[in-house]
Amino acid sequence: MARTTKKRQQQLKHDKFRDETFKVVDRLGDRLEGRGRLILYALAGLVALAVLYGVYSWWAGRRADEASHALGRAIETAEAPVASGTPIPGQTGPTFPSERERAQKAVEQFDTVINKYGDPYREMARYFRASSLLTLERARGLEELQALTRSGNADVAARSKFALAQAREADGQLDDAARLYNELLNDKNSGVARDTLNLRLASVYEQQGKRDAASDILFRMVDEARKAKGKDGKPLPETASVREADTKLETLNPERYAQLPPKAAATAGGDLPLF
């Protein structure tokens, strides 16, 4: 009898749990009643969004590859060698009979990138286009480079300022060139190699007759390079800019050159990219 009572109590407890479970299910059913279609629409919407996102990601990736290749082809044109009739041994890329024809073709290709694609490809194409315009319409090219020095793209702004400084130097506007080179040197995030900037600034000072200022820059470049050591304690290889500074200083100021520490045995290296 006692066992029967205990068993009955367990059954009642189980029935109570079942009843409560059914009540919860019923309440949930009541709340969702009439909303089945709405839920299906919501689920369908989520699936559609996922599909659209996948399609957009695929399209954006393909578009970026297309823009990158178009910009690369335009840069290849801008940097192609000029060969007047005589083939260049080993040259497989395009060649042009004159700098003007090369610049004209490059500008056309950069215009295509600017008109067809978005940033960062558009802004970079604007920089290369302005540089090529220096050969065709110098005043217009300078104007565009000047505008691009204020670009929101830091890399484009630095490239444009450096190209503008070189153009000012070539045009004999040495004060402007020196100012621009100094601005880039004072900007730690400019991305332009400091040895390259120092070498150009020393050249400007030399043209201005400021031999001591030019010698100071060249001396500092070579002195730091000769003292520089890697993590292994061995001398670092000199860059092409440092080797040029070494030669220039020896010619410009032999007395100052004699004050340099002796050269360490190191293998010659190359310059890092400007950017």
Angle at 235 between CA 231 and CA 240, to 5 degrees: 115
Is residue 269 within 8 Å of 238, Cβ to Cβ? yes
What's residue 1's pLDDT?
Answer: 47
| CA–CA dist 23, 47 (Å, integer) | 32
Tens of pLDDT, residue by residue, the chain (275 residues): 444 455 444 554 445 555 565 565 455 455 555 555 555 555 666 666 676 666 656 655 777 889 999 999 999 999 999 887 666 676 677 888 899 999 999 999 999 999 999 999 999 999 999 999 999 999 999 999 999 999 999 999 999 999 999 999 999 999 999 999 999 999 988 889 999 999 999 999 999 999 999 999 999 999 999 999 888 888 888 899 999 999 999 999 999 999 999 987 544 444 554 55
What's residue 265's pLDDT?
Answer: 59
What's residue 54's pLDDT?
Answer: 67
| CA–CA dist 151, 156 (Å, integer) | 7
Q: What is the largest CA-CA distance in the chain?
A: 121
What's residue 71's pLDDT?
Answer: 93
What's residue 199's pLDDT?
Answer: 97
Q: Residue 67 in 3-state DSSP? A: helix
DSSP 8-state class, residue 119: T
Cβ neighbours for 206, distance < 8 A, ≥ 6 positions apart: 214, 252
Handedness of CA 5, 10, 13, 18 (dihedral sign): negative
Q: Quick check: pTM over 0.75?
A: no
What's residue 155's pLDDT?
Answer: 94
What's residue 128's pLDDT?
Answer: 96
What b/e readout covers 144-165, taking b as 16+ CB neighbours within 10 angstroms?
bbeebbebebebbbbbbbbbbb
| CA–CA dist 254, 248 (Å, integer) | 10
What's residue 33's pLDDT?
Answer: 56
Bin 34: left if φ > 0, else alpha if -120 < ψ < 50, else beta: left
